[in-house]
Amino acid sequence: MSEPIFLQPIFQERIWGGTKLDLFGYEIPNDHTGECWAVSAHPNGQSVVKNGPYQGMKLGDLWSAHPELFNSKSAVFPLLTKILDASDDLSVQVHPDDEYAGKHENGELGKTECWYIVDAEPGAAIIYGHEANTKEQLVQMIENGDWDGLLTKVPVKAGDFFYVPSGTIHALGKGIVVLETQQSSDTTYRVYDYDRKDKNGNTRELHLEKAIDVTSVPQAYQPITHDTTKQEGLTVTSFVSNPFFTVQKWEVSGDVSLAGNEKYTIFSVLEGSGSLTAGDQSYALAKGDHFILPAGFGPYRLSGELQIIMSHE
């Protein structure tokens, strides 16, 4: 296939969501829209192909019917790209790894994820990690509700990046918009939810036994460094590369010619506008676009002023 696969996002209402996702040009369904599932084949919300011969197909169906477009050994589409609008604090939570999720969550994948901070209000912060030195201390601090003593807060600003392996206690704070790249999983174990109630007056379920099972100890926050390379028209910041995913930020200014790819590659346009040209075909790119270049896609050119998050297996 010689054209990009553009995808229509799915939107999810959340108690902590807001309206900032409309900054990407989306028609959001309500004023508590917390998540844009931009590139997803997860059963709880699948992206739909917007163009070309597979227009109207769900991404999961395309994965199953046309594996040649992806050149992957994974049984399911393994990644999920989201944009989150944390208008309020998210619950403090932790995710299982593949082994635990496979055993306890009906074969679901584990959830290792990472965040690129798109926007952050002054004073915004995340929770990342905890201060317990042993599992026993972790349990005691949770049982005592010593959240100030347990949870590590980290201030954030636009452009920051955080890698969040499974087993990490974490939460986005209010006033933050992130692009999240994660394993294709919807399994979350809530540790603490600020005792708030949903629209029906009920407190949300916590999952303390499973959360304690999967939380790694100790868990101090340590900033990670990034490598940046430049060529004419393109600056690439490499954030993370591991068995789950590779994630980079591409900043295009002008024109850059790029080689093709053996495996599929995911692109999310966060800022700017421009075009992708392959052969004699050109495709407009704008803020809020998400697309996949299929496996075997040949040489192409990116033009314009663009800020893109690129990811692949």
Mean pLDDT of all residues in 188-210: 91
Task: Consult the annotation and say whether 113 binds a ligand.
Answer: yes
For residue 76, pLDDT beyond 80 = yes
- 82 and 195 in a single domain? The answer is yes
Q: What's the pLDDT score for residue 2?
A: 78
Average pLDDT over residues 65-82: 96
What are the start-end ranges of the E strands in 19-111?
33-39, 41-42, 45-46, 48-49, 79-86, 92-94
243 and 168 share one domain: no
Residues 107 and 63 in one domain: yes
Give the dihedral of Cα atoms 86, 287, 267, 19; nearest 10 deg.
Answer: 20
- Count the domains in the chain: 2
* Model confidence band, residue 200 (pLDDT cutoffs 50, 70, 90): confident
Tell me, yes or no, if 190 is annotated catalytic.
yes
Q: How far is CA 200 from CA 189, 197, 203, 204, 225, in A?
A: 21, 7, 9, 10, 44
Give percent of the chain with pLDDT exceeding 90.
93
- Mean of pLDDT over the chain: 96
Q: Are residues 233 and 274 in the same domain?
A: yes
Average pLDDT over residues 91-96: 98
170 is annotated as contributing to ligand binding: yes
Residues 191 and 155 in one domain: yes
Q: Which of 14, 190, 204, 301 is catalytic?
A: 190
**pLDDT band per the 50, 70, 90 thresholds, residue 224:** confident
pLDDT of residue 40: 98
3-state secondary structure of 246: strand
Asked which of 214, 238, 259 is the last residue of a domain, the reply is: 214
pLDDT surpasses 70 at 308 = yes
pLDDT digits (tens, 9 = 90+) for 41-60: 999 999 999 999 999 999 99
What average pLDDT does this structure show over 14-38? 97
> What's the pLDDT tens digit per position in 117-156?
999 999 999 999 999 999 999 999 999 999 999 999 999 9
Last residue of a domain, one of 160, 186, 214: 214
| CATH, residue 154 | 2.60.120.10
**95 in a labelled binding site:** yes
222 falls within a domain: no
CB 303 within 8 A of CB 258: no
Whether residues 124 and 200 share a domain: the answer is: yes
- How does residue 201 score in pLDDT terms, banded at 50, 70 and 90? confident
For residue 23, pLDDT beyond 90 = yes
pLDDT at 1: 66
Range of the domain at 250: 227-312
pLDDT value of position 48: 98
Is residue 103's pLDDT more than 70? yes
For the residues 4-20, what does the mean pLDDT come to?
97
Residue 270, pLDDT > 70, answer yes
State CA 146 to chain mean position distance: 29
234 and 208 both lie in a single domain: no
Torsion sign, CA atoms 244, 210, 178, 30: positive
Residue 158: inside a domain, yes or no? yes
